[in-house]
């Protein structure tokens, strides 16, 4: 089969294929970009596979970066673009179920395509727009089916991350899992415990952010695979709560998706839960903050202090989740309260501790800290102007009240 119209991303990369070919090697576009081109979906990264070994690829191009040379990947910089060129390879036995124990470079495209996970991810496209389809991926694409390349059980046994990838592609493409493939995913699911959490997180996160996340998640629950993810054992009913909590909605950020998940699962100790997923502290904090905002919003509208405390972006992300839960929303009120703030950070207060000590003879210590906090909140509440004279009068009043 021939691709009728080569998307511009491929056309721009054609000179790369030509260069590799004129040096005497084979080169093809491979992976997700070919699948997406066939589906007429937007293409992100154009991946190239070649019979040239990494050193040979480096000799062909002027500007290259070793990004994963042990896996055979060289980054080529051409025409202001970056292309990953990976040597055809097979993967040997996965001893610890985590990563290939060794990678063997080969000169045959067929071998390289055989190691790929799903038939719709195992196409190669040449410079003439001809599709190499060794595993009837075109038929699966037509039928919207995800089918493992080769013997499913063996493939998931080799690398259990492929199980998560299966659910993830189901969520992103809206495809069904072919029966034998799904059964093998179910059988091999316990092996997910052996996969590094970081790799699992990437796939699960992508699943949550996909338009058909409900479909991917439902299959994950049905298969029982969720039990082998951090802190998810026995949480099927709680997981299903997410389907009711969030209606027809595509999450806009990872943190927002994880906040919804945490709420559905009724996680009490959010930092601990996120630590289990090995996310960054910043990520966990943002998730926690979105949940905090939602808890406030359950009781009342947001006031100036809330808007001062939380980033506007987070306030809006939380409000979007309310909308997704079909709860009342007031985006305008958030915008208005936020915009009415005269300061957004305590460093914007025109008077600071140092000044009060140096110019006005205040003593450093907790009492001064108290005064500064009172000033800060009086300004936030709109009761005090952020103006030096007004602040000094305010301090005098505070001192009189003390007496
Ligand atoms: P996306 O559009 O989301 O990037 P993708 O199909 O490009 O999807 P990647 O994770 O970028 O997915 O991987 C690129 C390609 O590498 C896949 O299409 C697949 O052929 C192959 N691949 C990636 N991970 C695995 C794996 N664990 N086992 C087998 N093949 C894999
Ligand atoms: Mg990709």
Q: Which CATH number covers residue 205?
A: 1.10.110.30
SS3 362: coil
Q: What is the pTM of this model?
A: 0.92
How far apart CA 403 and CA 401 sit, in angstroms, is 5
368 and 313 share one domain: no
User: Which residue has the CA at smallest separation from atom 5 of ligand 1?
Assistant: 32
Quote the number of domains for the chain: 4
Alpha helix stretches (DSSP H) within 231-348: 236-245, 254-264, 270-276, 281-299, 304-309, 312-324, 331-340
User: Which residue has the CA at smallest separation from atom 22 of ligand 1?
Assistant: 116
∠ Cα 359 345 251 (to 5°): 170
User: Which residue has the CA at smallest separation from atom 6 of ligand 1?
Assistant: 32
110 and 2 share one domain: yes
Average pLDDT, the chain: 94
Q: Which CATH number covers residue 395?
A: 1.10.246
pLDDT in tens, 189-244: 999 999 999 999 999 999 999 999 999 999 999 999 999 999 999 999 999 999 99
Given a cut of 90, is residue 69 above it in pLDDT? no
50 and 179 share one domain: no
132: exposed, middle or buried (Cβ count in 10 Å: 0-12, 13-18, 19+): middle
248 and 337 share one domain: yes
153 and 129 share one domain: no
15 and 133 share one domain: yes
pLDDT in tens, 376-402: 999 999 999 999 999 999 999 998 887
CA of 46 relative to ligand 2 center, distance in Å: 8
* Cross-strand pairs, 73: 68, 86
How far apart CA 168 and CA 204 sit, in angstroms, is 7
Given a cut of 80, is residue 186 above it in pLDDT? yes
What's the average model confidence in pLDDT over 62-85?
92
CA of 81 relative to ligand 1 center, distance in Å: 20
How far apart CA 52 and CA 347 sit, in angstroms, is 57
For 75, phi then psi, to 5°, come to: -95, 130
pLDDT in tens, 236-295: 999 999 999 998 899 999 999 999 999 999 999 999 999 999 999 999 999 999 999 999
309 and 335 share one domain: yes
Domain around 166: 144-229
The set of residues, in sequence order, having a beta carbon less than 8 Å from that of 273 and lying 6+ positions away, is 230, 231, 262, 265, 267
How far apart CA 90 and CA 103 sit, in angstroms, is 6
């Amino acid at each position: 089969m021939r691709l009728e119209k080569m998307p511009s991303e491929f056309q721009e990369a054609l000179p790369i294929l030509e260069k590799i070919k004129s040096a005497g090697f084979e080169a093809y576009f491979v992976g997700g970009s070919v699948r997406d081109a066939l589906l007429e979906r937007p293409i992100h990264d154009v991946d190239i596979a070649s019979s040239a070994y990494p050193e040979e690829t480096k000799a062909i191009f002027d500007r290259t970066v070793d990004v994963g040379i042990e896996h055979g990947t060289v980054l080529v910089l051409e025409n202001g673009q970056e292309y990953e060129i990976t040597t055809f390879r097979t993967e040997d036995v996965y001893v610890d179920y985590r990563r290939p124990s060794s990678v063997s470079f080969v000169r045959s495209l067929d071998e390289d395509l055989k190691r790929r996970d799903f038939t719709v991810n195992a196409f190669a496209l040449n410079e003439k727009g001809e599709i190499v389809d060794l595993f009837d991926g075109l038929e699966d694409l037509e039928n919207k089916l995800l089918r493992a390349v080769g013997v499913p059980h063996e493939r998931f046994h080799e690398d259990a991350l492929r199980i998560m990838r299966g659910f993830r592609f189901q969520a992103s493409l809206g495809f069904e899992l072919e029966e034998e493939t799904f059964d093998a995913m179910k059988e091999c699911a316990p092996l997910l415990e052996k996969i590094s959490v970081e790799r699992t997180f990437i796939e699960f996160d992508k699943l949550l952010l996909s338009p058909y996340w409900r479909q991917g998640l439902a299959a994950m629950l049905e298969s029982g695979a969720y039990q082998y993810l951090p802190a998810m054992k026995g949480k099927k009913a709680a997981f299903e709560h997410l389907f009711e909590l969030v209606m027809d909605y595509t999450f806009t950020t990872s943190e927002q998706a994880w906040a919804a998940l945490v709420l559905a699962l009724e996680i009490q100790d959010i930092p601990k839960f996120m630590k289990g997923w090995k996310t960054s502290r910043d990520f966990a904090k943002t998730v926690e903050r979105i949940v905090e905002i939602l808890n406030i919003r359950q009781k009342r509208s947001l006031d100036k202090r809330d808007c001062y405390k939380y980033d506007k972006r987070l306030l809006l992300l939380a409000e979007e989740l309310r909308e997704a839960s079909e709860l009342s929303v007031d985006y305008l009120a958030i915008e208005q309260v936020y915009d009415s703030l005269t300061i957004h950070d305590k460093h914007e207060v025109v008077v600071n501790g140092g000044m009060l000590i140096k110019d006005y003879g205040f003593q450093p210590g907790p009492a001064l800290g108290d005064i500064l906090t009172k000033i800060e909140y009086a300004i936030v509440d709109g009761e005090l102007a952020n103006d030096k004279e007004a602040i000094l009068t305010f301090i005098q009043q505070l001192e009189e009240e003390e007496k």
